Amino acid sequence: MIAALTGRLAHKAPSHVTLDVHGVGYEVFIPLSTFYALPEINESASLSVHTHLREDAIQLYGFVTTLEKDSFILLTSISGIGPKLALSVLSALNVPDLVAAILAGDVEKLSSVPGIGKKTAARIALELKDKVERLRVTPGPIPQAASGPMGRLQDDALSALVNLGYKAADVKAAITRAVQVRPEPVPLTELIREVLKDLARG
């Protein structure tokens, strides 16, 4: 089992990265929270990794902190929540917000994640209420990604959020509203956060 990887960041996208470890490229799926904290291309990066075995493939899921990895493992321990859905949860809610929602039984917040209905949200809150207390949550600043041309940023934000399960039309409308409020170029991470807030408000 691969538990951690350190290597050159050969490629990065909001949903996955390629880490070059001594000439071997590992594709690793990530949540947005990890994407926010990644260094620039060709710089060294370290990820805590969960190896997921399937009948037809071995998939790697990477996180910048063991806290994210532990949260991912807890989420996938619930029946009906696979790795992709767990990544969506961690992309929409940071770990402190996720833990707070679970402890408070906040079904509305949990069900705001694409793919999580109210029944599943209630099950998450019920099954993980005692378990999340083991997580040592210490909120901290999330590193910002570099800014780029606004058109490219909008395309990247659209791609990232559609991959998370949001409808393209809804994302495009939310991006348009966000750009109208802040027409100047902003970091991709900030644009995605603004769009997520808009989508959560419905």
All domains of the chain in start order, with CATH: 4-63 (2.40.50.140), 66-134 (1.10.150.20), 150-201 (1.10.8)
Q: What is the pLDDT along the chain (202 residues), one digit of tens a residue?
A: 899 999 999 999 989 999 999 999 999 999 988 988 899 999 999 999 999 988 888 999 999 989 899 999 999 999 889 999 999 999 888 888 898 899 899 999 898 888 899 999 999 999 998 888 777 554 444 334 333 445 777 878 888 887 777 877 788 888 888 877 776 667 778 888 888 888 887 6
Q: Is the pTM of this model over 0.85?
A: no
| Distance (Å, whole) CA 119 – CA 111 | 8
Q: How many CB atoms lie within 10 A of CB 98?
A: 26
What's the pLDDT at 183? 65
SS3 153: helix
